[in-house]
Structure 1
Amino acid sequence: MNGDEQLLRGRVYGHDHDDPDPGPKPGRTYAELVGGPLDGLLVDIHGWRTEEVNDGVALTTELGRWPGGRALYDPRPGDPRKSGPGVACRFHYTGDTP
């Protein structure tokens, strides 16, 4: 099993921990969250334009500095990206906002 296959065994943001199938779906594209309160989760970015991926995400979480606030994740310039299904890139934690 390669690294992407192991990573795809992770949970997708927005799926409940008790969801019978919280993992990634075949044929979809994901970003891995690195650091911060949502470390290790995947975000479904299937169908996003390059500009949308470049903007990163602000994800609601109860685990950040402000419960119910948002954890901010952005791609790093120069980080590798691939096209197609699976884990295409990484979003790195940059902070929290209320």
Structure 2
Amino acid sequence: MAFVYILASDRNGTLYVGVTSDLIQRIYQHKNKFVPSFTEKYGVDKLVWFEACDSIESAIIREKQIKKWKREWKIRLIEETNPYWNDLYPSIV
């Protein structure tokens, strides 16, 4: 199993789309700034959306698809299941 996820700096803030085989560990790394990266530089560490995929290959395909989307489409995707942009990380640990 693998996951595609979206992190945000805040509601309607900077967005980051990523993929991982271990969602809990990867979000923990983002939150604790373990790796110098875009998310660390811009404070993007709130898990606002995620989707499980059958394989890492299908997750990568889905990630690439979402990365090509317009920002408004990504916002709509988030708000379909998380209208208040709550940080979902506490609900998965």
TM-score w.r.t. the length of structure 2 is 0.31
Structure with greater proportional strand content:
1
Which structure has the bigger radius of gyration? 1
TM-score w.r.t. the length of structure 1 is 0.30
Structure with greater proportional helix content:
2
Higher relative contact order, structure no. (Cα contacts within 8 Å, ≥ 6 residues apart): 2
